[in-house]
Structure 1
Amino acid sequence: MHRSGPRRAALAVASTAAALLLGGAAAATASAASGPVLVDDWGPRCTTTGNLCVFETEWFTGRVALYEGVDTGCTTAPFGILANINMTDRPVTFYENPDCTGASVTEPAGNFHSWKSRGPMLSFRS
């Protein structure tokens, strides 16, 4: 493990908290039905009310997929998810298999979390 990992995680959490307090204003352009938008600068876009961002690493780095309008249907992720920012108004359940089956973890609305110890999740639904 890199020694800078915990510092980057703390920075990511602090950045997310600051963005939540300031209120992100950028609009997203994808829904769970239409698929994700892969983004480089996740700050304000991932903290906009109604959006869900999923991350490839537990440090909120690597590939980032942005979704708007997450619904109750099963969505297969474009990569294994190890962290999320759920700015929707509903809990989102993440699953270990690509068809919303297997072990799961549910993240509440308005929350961000990572779960390296659980392994990557491959699908989700609201």
Structure 2
Amino acid sequence: MHKLGRKRAAVAVVSTAAALLLGAAPAMASTTSGPVIVDNRDPRCATAGNLCVFETEWFTGRAALYEGVDTGCVTAPFGVLANINMTDKPVTFYKNADCTGASVTEPAGNLHSWESRGPMFSFVS
């Protein structure tokens, strides 16, 4: 192989390695995927393993989808007044953005709204 061919091969190997590392980096940081802002009728909200949160108690307005919710504190993109919890664990929603304050726990495989409690701004699974 001549000099130019070796350089191209080396660049290709380095580029591929960098792409693989960069592609894996977000997955290592957290197993939670989201939020993805979705239509409030998105069928993924009813898919096993997912959590959808809604801006209103009527499951309308803005909606955010979380896939593969982990156990760390997650700050919601807006005040949450309803959820569809299709995970296999209960999810606790908190009044403050740092998983503190008044809370409400929703069981696995359940949907619920809580207008009387006001919006929640974070959650833990």
Does the TM-score normalized on the shorter chain lie above 0.5? yes
Match of 1:114 in 2: 113
Q: Contact 2:33–2:69 at 8 Å: present in 1 too?
A: no
Shift of 1:32: 6.6
TM superposition score normalised by structure 2: 0.73
Q: Kindly indicate whether the alpha-carbon contact (under 8 Å) linking 2:47 and 2:86 is maintained by their aligned counterparts in 1.
A: yes
Count of aligned pairs between the two proteins: 96
Would you say the 8 A contact 1:107–1:113 is kept in 2? yes
Give the whole-Å Cα distance in 2 for the aligned partners of 1:96 and 1:107: 14
Q: 1:121 to 1:32 in 2, by over 3 A?
A: farther
Tell me, which stretches of 5 or more residues in structure 1 are unaligned?
1-30
Taking a change above 3 Å as real, the CA distance of residues 32 and 41 of structure 1, as seen in their structure-2 partners, is farther
Counterpart residue type for residue 50 of structure 1: G
Q: Deviations over 1:29-56 (max 9, x none)?
A: xx87343000115342100000000000
What is the CA distance between 1:83 and its match in structure 2?
Answer: 0.1
8 Å contact kept, 1:32–1:75:
no
Unaligned runs of 5+ in 2: 1-29
Helix, strand or coil for the counterpart of 1:117?
Answer: helix
The CA deviation string for residues 61-113 of structure 1, in whole angstroms up to 9 with x for no partner, is 00000000111100000000000000000000000000000000000000000
Q: Percent identity?
A: 81
TM superposition outliers: structure 1 runs of 4+ over 2 Å: 31-35
Aligned to 1:58: 57
Superposed counterparts of 1:23-42, under 5 Å: 33-42=32-41
| Alignment CA distance shift 1:64-1:32 (3 Å) | farther
Aligned to 2:86: 87
Structure 1 residues 41 and 62: CA distance shift in structure 2, 3 A: closer
Over alpha carbons, which structure has the higher Rg?
2
